[in-house]
Amino acid sequence: MTSSYNLPPSPEMPILLRRIKFIFQPLKYLEDFAQTYGVSFSLSQKDGTNTVYFSHPEAMEQIFTADANSLEAGRGNRIIKFLVGDNSLILLDGDRHSRQRKLLAPPFHGDRMRAYGMTICEIAQQVSDEWQTGKPFNIRESMQEVTLSVILSAVFGLDEGKRLDELRFKISSLLDFVSSPLLSASLFFRFLQKDWGSWSPWGKVLHLRKQIDDLIYDLIEQRRAESNQNRQDILSLMMSARYEDGGEMSNEELRDELMTLLFAGHETTASALTWAFYWVDSLPEVREKLLNELNDLGDNPEPGLVAKLPYLTAVCQETLRIYPIVPSAFPRIAVNPIEIGGYNLPKGTWIIPSIYLAHHREEVYPQSKQFKPERFLERQFSPYEFFPFGGGNRRCIGLAFAMYEMKLVLATILSRYEVSRIDKRAVKPARRGLTVATPAGMKMVAKPVKKIAKTPVVV
C-alpha cells in the first residue's frame, strides 16, 4: 500500500442538501451520482473523512472477502443502537461478532427453520381470510400483520394471550412511528433526537421502547423459570445455546438480539411481500406462470415443496433485486489504509456496498428497470452481483428464513385470492425509516380464486 491515496470523484453539493436528498429521494440520490460520476463515487464528511460507494462485482468481492479485522462494521450501524441495544449482532465487531454469530446461526437453517413452515402458511391464511371480497384494504398493513405474527410465534414462542396482544400492539406502534417521515429524518439528524416527554416524537419512541423492553424481560424471566425444555421457538433455542466456554446469553444479550430480529425481520419482509404483490398484479403473465406452477403441486402441498418451486423463487429474487428493501449493505470503516476497486483508501474511510446500484448494472442485468423473473432461471448470479441480504461475514443471518417465509406467504395467498390494486398507476419507492418501500397508503382488493379442474388424461 502506498502512502498516497486516491479517491473516486466527489460531487460538489453542500452536505445539508445532499443529506436531505438522501432522506427524501434515496434511490434518485444514488442514481444521479452514479450517472454523473460512474460506478464508484466519494462523499466528503464534516469530520474530514470520506464515504465511498461501490457497485462493481470485483469491488464487492474485495469488500466481502476482506479480513474481518481490516474493516469495522459495528460502528457504522450506531444509528440503530437506540432500538437494538449494545449487544446486537449488527453492532458487534471482531471476535465478539463471530462468537455471537456462531451461537445464533443454527435456528435459522435446516430442519429447525423448516419446522415453522406450517405456522407461516396458517398465519398467511388467517390474515388473508379476514379480507372482504371487493373491499379495499392496505396491503402493507396486512403483510406487517403476517410477518409480525410469524416472528412472535417462531421467534418469541407466543401464539395467544395477553402478552402476545400487548407486544403486537407496542411493536407495531413503535416501528410505524419510527418509519414515519418525521422520525425517518430524526434518524439522520441527531438534533431531532430530543426527549421532551412522552408527548414529544422522540420521547414517544423511548417510551414505547421501554414498554416493549419490560414485556420482553418479563417473557425471558418466565421462560427461564419453565421446566419445558422441548420448546422449539428461537428464543428458547437461544437460551439453551452455549458459548464455547459453556456460558449462556445474558438477559440483556437476549433482549438485544430479539429486538434485532424484530427490526431486521419484520419490516423488511413485509415490504418485500408488498412489492411482490405489486409486481404480480402489474404483470398478469407473472401471475399466470405462478398459478400454473402452484397448481401443479395440487391442494395443500408441503411447505418444503412450495419453497423449491423455481419460478416462485425467481419472482422473490427479482422482487429483491429491482427494489432492494435496504439500498446499501452495512457500511464498513477502514481500520487501516486499504485498496478497493483500484482506489487506495485512507484509514477511517466509510465503504458502502451499494446493493441498488449493483442490482441495476446493465451489463449484469439487461433492461434492469424491467421486472423479469426469468433472468434468475436463465443464469446464476454471483454473491457479488446479487446480494439483497448483504455479503461476507455481515450477510443477514436470517436470509434463508426470510426467503422461506416470503415464498410460503406468496404461495398461500395467491393460490386462494386474486389480489389487485385499485389505482393501477406505477408507484415510486419511498423511504420508510432505514428501508425503501411502497407508498404507505397503497390499497388493494381481493377476490377468491376460481379453482380450475384439471382435464383427466384419456388413455
Domain count, the chain: 1
Is 458 within the bounds of a domain? no
Q: What residues make up the domain containing 41?
A: 15-448
Q: Are 448 and 416 in contact (CB under 8 A)?
A: yes
Q: Which three cell numbers stand for residue 67?
A: 479480513
Burial code of 343-360, b = ≥16 C-beta within 10 A, e = fewer? bbbbebbbbbbbbbbbbb
- 138-172 pLDDT, tens digit per residue, is 999 999 999 999 999 988 888 777 888 888 898 88
Q: What is the CATH number of the domain that holds 222?
A: 1.10.630.10
Is 10 within the bounds of a domain? no
In the prediction, which pLDDT does 456 show? 47
- 52-89 pLDDT, tens digit per residue, is 999 999 999 999 999 988 999 988 888 888 888 999 99
Sign of the alpha-carbon dihedral angle for 151, 155, 160, 166 = negative
Is 29 within the bounds of a domain? yes
The owner of cell 418509519 is 179
In the prediction, which pLDDT does 232 show? 80
In the prediction, which pLDDT does 185 show? 65
Is 453 within the bounds of a domain? no
Going residue by residue through the chain (459 aa), what tens digit of pLDDT does each one get?
Answer: 445 788 998 888 888 888 888 888 899 999 999 999 988 999 988 888 899 999 999 999 999 999 988 999 988 888 888 888 999 999 999 999 998 998 888 888 777 778 899 999 999 999 999 999 989 999 999 999 999 999 999 888 887 778 888 888 988 888 877 777 666 666 666 666 666 666 677 788 888 899 999 999 999 998 888 866 678 888 888 888 888 888 899 999 999 999 998 888 888 999 999 999 999 999 999 999 999 999 999 888 999 999 999 999 999 999 999 999 999 999 999 999 999 999 999 999 999 999 999 999 999 999 999 999 999 999 999 999 999 999 999 999 999 999 999 999 999 999 999 999 999 899 999 888 888 999 888 999 999 987 655 544 444
Is 376 within the bounds of a domain? yes
Residue closest to 419 by CA, chosen among 142, 151, 172, 149? 142
Is 9 within the bounds of a domain? no
DSSP of 86-155? TT-GGG--HHHHHHHHHHHSGGGSHHHHHTTHHHHHHHHHHHHTTSPTT--EEHHHHHHHHHHHHHHHHT
At residue 256, what is the residue type?
D
Is 307 within the bounds of a domain? yes
Cβ neighbors of 333 (< 8 A, separation 6 or more) are 71, 72, 73, 75, 76, 348, 349, 350, 351
Residue closest to 398 by CA, chosen among 156, 150, 105? 105
In the prediction, which pLDDT does 295 show? 93
